[in-house]
Amino acid sequence: MFDKFKKEEGSEMVEEKIEDNSNDVESVDAAIESISQIGIGELMGKRVKLEEAIDYVGLMIKNLKDKRTLLEKDIEEESVDIKNLKEKLQKVSEYIDEENSGITELANKRKQVEDEADQVGVIISNLRDKLLGVDKIIEDEGNRVKKIKELRDSFEN
């Protein structure tokens, strides 16, 4: 873009010199030769290379911005996933706490039932002992009745 201006400016200057010194062709050659001697051509080449480098750096910056944007998006997605996972784990923890509480409650109920079963066992044992006592009394009374019958039968005979 600037090359056109500089080339045009240079040629205008040369044309002006030509118009001013239309009889002197050698002065035009000298002006062109002086431009090359002071290195304007090399300077213009360096400028073009710098512009290309600037464009390349701009492209690199754009690529970096795109990568950063993608990275930010990935990080945000991971953040959402981790938050969801954390919420699920908290719910699982609450469920485990509820289950542990329920297990403790069941253990207490089982202990109460065991205590009641032990009490029932004691009652059954006591009742069995009483029944054995009653059975012994009945047996003793039955034996007495038998003896009395036997005595009575032996008296009657």
Separation between Cα atoms, residue 124 and residue 118, nearest integer Å: 10
Residue 27 lies in a domain: no
| Per-residue tokens: 72 | 């930010």
Question: Is 27:21 a contact under the CB 8 Å cutoff?
Answer: yes
pLDDT, residue 28, reads 54
Residue 31 lies in a domain: no
Long-range pairs for 86-95: beta carbons < 8 A, 24 or more residues apart: none
33, amino acid identity: E
Whether pLDDT at 13 is above 70? no
pLDDT band at 43 (very low <50, low <70, confident <90, very high): confident
Residue 29 lies in a domain: no
Residue 79 lies in a domain: yes
Average pLDDT score, the chain: 83
**Mean local confidence (pLDDT), 51-63:** 95
- Domain housing 101: 39-156
pLDDT, residue 34, reads 58
For 92-123, write each residue's pLDDT tens digit.
999 999 999 999 999 999 999 999 999 999 99
pLDDT band at 82 (very low <50, low <70, confident <90, very high): very high
35 CB burial (10 A radius; 0-12, 13-18, 19+)? middle
Name which residue leads in pLDDT, 136 or 35. Answer: 136
Residue 2 lies in a domain: no
Question: Is 46:36 a contact under the CB 8 Å cutoff?
Answer: no
63, amino acid identity: N
Q: What percent of the chain has pLDDT over 70?
A: 75
How long is the chain?
157
pTM for the model: 0.45
pLDDT, residue 156, reads 76
Residue 87 lies in a domain: yes
Residue 58 lies in a domain: yes
**Measured CA angle at 49 (ends 2, 57), to 5 deg:** 105
Separation between Cα atoms, residue 40 and residue 31, nearest integer Å: 12
Residue 47 lies in a domain: yes
Name which residue leads in pLDDT, 43 or 48. Answer: 48
Q: How many domains does the chain divide into? A: 1
Contacts of 21 by beta carbon, 8 Å cutoff, 6+ apart? 27, 28
Whether pLDDT at 57 is above 60? yes
For 62-72, write each residue's pLDDT tens digit.
999 999 999 99
Token pair 């056109």 is found at: 4
Whether pLDDT at 20 is above 70? no
